Amino acid sequence: MRRVLLVGALALVFAASPVRAANVLFGIAEGVAEQASFGEMQDKYQPLADYLGRVLKNKVTLESSQNIPSAMANLQKGRFDLMFCRPSNVSGKAIRDNKYQLVAMAKGDFAASFIARKDHAFKKPEDVLSKIIALPEESSLMAKAGLATLRDMGGKPKPEQLRYTRYQEAVNFMLEMKFADVGIVAPAQAKAWEKKGGVIFFKSKKLPYWSIIASPKMSKGDVEKMQKALIEMESSDEGKKILAKIGVKGWVPGKAQEYVEMLSWLGM
């Protein structure tokens, strides 16, 4: 009888105790603009994972990938509890289609840059509509934003005018070698082009930047705690080191609706 009472008492204790949540799975998607290995990406984002783990009082496990279709499939399945998305269309689709929550957006201006050689003869943006255009791969955010910008200008380049390439660095190279007249790239490659004497001729409209998103299963309280901690990173030495390591200036709350509106503009 005593044994039965003891087992019953233990069952009541465990039932009354809070159950610790499973580890938090943190997906990282940098996209094809980056060429870091899996190990390099894991090392790069581990301090951020540890930082968020302390905020959540839980272990945050990293899973890094440059395979965007795979990352999007995992978001659709709800597999990731958190995700840091470099291509902001990935965040937008997860927010719109899978009810992910925007935790925070990286600081900075983000747009598709139309670059040209220093000796270009363009007078106005519309002049590029008849030219040979180099772009990152067709499914990339920069390619889609560039073509949406041309569409808004009233033009649609013919397929034979478009030169797609996997890595954005190759867009710069194609302009250097005169394989194309204009290129469409992200801000980092545009700056690299300018340093070599090239020209940023014009840009698309401003786009929502990189972000951290959270599963709809994550509590609003946890999302708010993470957002506050991310925004405060600029105020501590540890936070500044983490920001420098991942290449982010800082964080702002951002607006989820801007990501959804961007998808409509891109026709996605």
- Entry pTM: 0.85
Q: Where are the domains of the chain?
A: 24-109+208-266, 113-203
Give yes or no on whether 24-109+208-266 and 113-203 have one common fold. Answer: yes
Q: How far apart are CA 155 and CA 9, in angstroms?
A: 75
Domain 113-203 falls under CATH 3.40.190.10: yes
Backbone angles phi, psi at 192, to 5 degrees: -60, -40
Give residue 197's region: left, alpha or beta (phi > 0; psi -120 to 50). Answer: left
**Token duo for residue 207:** 């786009």
Q: How far apart are CA 1 and CA 9, in angstroms?
A: 12
Class for the domain spanning 24-109+208-266: alpha beta
Other Cβ atoms less than 10 A from the Cβ of 119: the count is 7
**Token duo for residue 229:** 């901690």
3-class secondary structure, 32: coil
Strand partners, 185: 113
pLDDT tens digits for the chain (268 residues)? 444 444 444 344 434 433 345 689 999 988 765 566 778 888 999 999 999 999 999 999 999 887 888 888 999 999 999 999 888 999 999 999 999 999 999 999 899 999 999 999 999 999 999 999 999 999 899 999 999 999 999 888 999 999 999 888 899 999 999 999 999 999 989 999 999 999 999 999 999 999 999 999 999 999 999 999 999 999 999 999 999 999 999 999 999 999 999 999 999 8
